[in-house]
Amino acid sequence: MKAGLPPNATPQALQGQATLRHGVIAYAAPGSEALQKAIDTLYLPNLEKLLSRLAYVKNLSHATEASSAFLMPHEDAPKLIGMAPFLGPEAIMTPCHWQVGMNEVILLKPEELALSDAESRQVLSAMQPYFEEDGLQVVYESPLVWRVTGHLIDGLPLASIERVSGKSIQTWMPNLQQAKTLQRLQSEMQMLLYQHPVNDERSLKGRWTVNSFWMHRDLDQLYPQSGNVSVPNCLTQRFGKSHGNRLTTRSQFLCAKRWN
C-alpha cells in the first residue's frame, strides 16, 4: 500500500497514474464538535479541486466485524471497495509503558518514552529469547518498530496502537485462545524488565520505563496486495502531533474516493 501521495501531487499529476484507483484521507473528518466547526470554516481550494475529480463511494458508520473494531477508521476504510484486512503472520511490536492503576492498565503513548536506539536494542536483546521460545522472530527496525513474524499471530486480530494509546488495554485485548500466549509474554516482559539496566537508568532520570510491548499491524501488512490504494498520512504528521488526543476514534473519515 502506498504510504502517501507525492509531496506536490495535484489532480493533474495523478491523472496519468493508471494504477492509483482509490484514496483514503486519514483523519479528515474529526469527531470533535470543536474541530468539526473549525474545519467547516477553512478555505481549502486545493482540496475542493481534488474532491471535484473524485467519486464518492460511501461512509462507514460503524465497525461490523471484530477485527474492524480493532482498527483505526482509515485502516478499515479499504473494505468499502471490497478489500478485507489480511491478518497474517507478520506484525509490528512496539516497546511501551503500561501505567498500572487500581482498576485498569493504561498504555501510554510510545512517543512519550523518547526511547533511544541504544536503549531499544538493549531491551529487545533481553526479550528476544522469550519470543523465540514461542516461535516469534523479532527483528529491530527502529526504537519503536520491531518487525515480528510467527504462526502465533497468524489470523489474530491486533488492535491498532493508536486505538489503545492513552486508554485501558483490557478493551483491546483479543479474546481468542491463541492470544493467551501473547498475553503471557506481555506479563513475563513486565517481570523481566522491572530491574533491567536501561530502566534503572531511566528511573534515575525520572523518565518512563519500558515495561511491556504492544503488537499491531501496519497498512502494508493489513493490505499486502493493495498497490492501487493510497493512504496519505500528511494529516497525521501535521495535525496529529498537536491534536492527537482529540482526533476521533470513531469511523468517520473522508475516504474511499475513486479517481476519475
Q: Are residues 117 and 80 in the same domain?
A: no
Grid coordinates belonging to 242 = 498537536
Query: For residue 250, how far is the Cα from the chain centroid?
Result: 14
Q: Are residues 232 and 170 in the same domain?
A: no
215 closest CA partner among 151, 135, 156, 142: 156
Q: Are residues 95 and 212 in the same domain?
A: yes
Q: Are residues 31 and 124 in the same domain?
A: no
Q: Provide the pLDDT for residue 190.
A: 94
Grid coordinates belonging to 193 = 524488565
Q: Are residues 181 and 105 in the same domain?
A: yes
Q: Are residues 47 and 154 in the same domain?
A: no
What is the reported pTM? 0.71
Distance between CA atoms of residues 101 and 18, nearest Å: 52
Q: Are residues 206 and 95 in the same domain?
A: yes
> Which residues span the domain enclosing 156?
90-216
Q: Provide the pLDDT for residue 120.
A: 98
| Alpha-helical runs (H) found in 22-107 | 33-40, 45-51, 66-69, 73-76
Q: Are residues 67 and 116 in the same domain?
A: no
Please give the chain's pLDDT, 260 residues, in tens.
444 333 333 333 344 444 456 666 666 666 667 777 777 788 888 878 877 887 766 665 554 455 556 777 667 777 777 777 889 999 999 999 999 888 899 999 999 999 999 999 999 999 999 999 999 999 999 999 999 999 999 999 998 898 888 989 988 888 778 889 999 999 999 999 999 999 999 999 999 999 999 999 988 888 887 666 666 555 554 433 333 333 333 333 334 333 33
Query: For residue 179, how far is the Cα from the chain centroid?
Result: 19
Count of the separate structural domains present in the chain: 2
Examine residue 178 and state whether it is found in any structural domain, yes or no. yes
Examine residue 155 and state whether it is found in any structural domain, yes or no. yes
Q: Provide the pLDDT for residue 231.
A: 63
Q: Are residues 99 and 138 in the same domain?
A: yes
Examine residue 58 and state whether it is found in any structural domain, yes or no. yes
Examine residue 1 and state whether it is found in any structural domain, yes or no. no
Q: Are residues 113 and 176 in the same domain?
A: yes
Q: Are residues 76 and 108 in the same domain?
A: no
Q: Which residue has the cell 530491574?
A: 195
Q: Provide the pLDDT for residue 244.
A: 34
165 closest CA partner among 235, 230, 94, 223: 94
**What are φ and ψ of residue 214, in 5° steps?**
-130, 135
| Alpha-helical runs (H) found in 77-169 | 117-133, 161-164
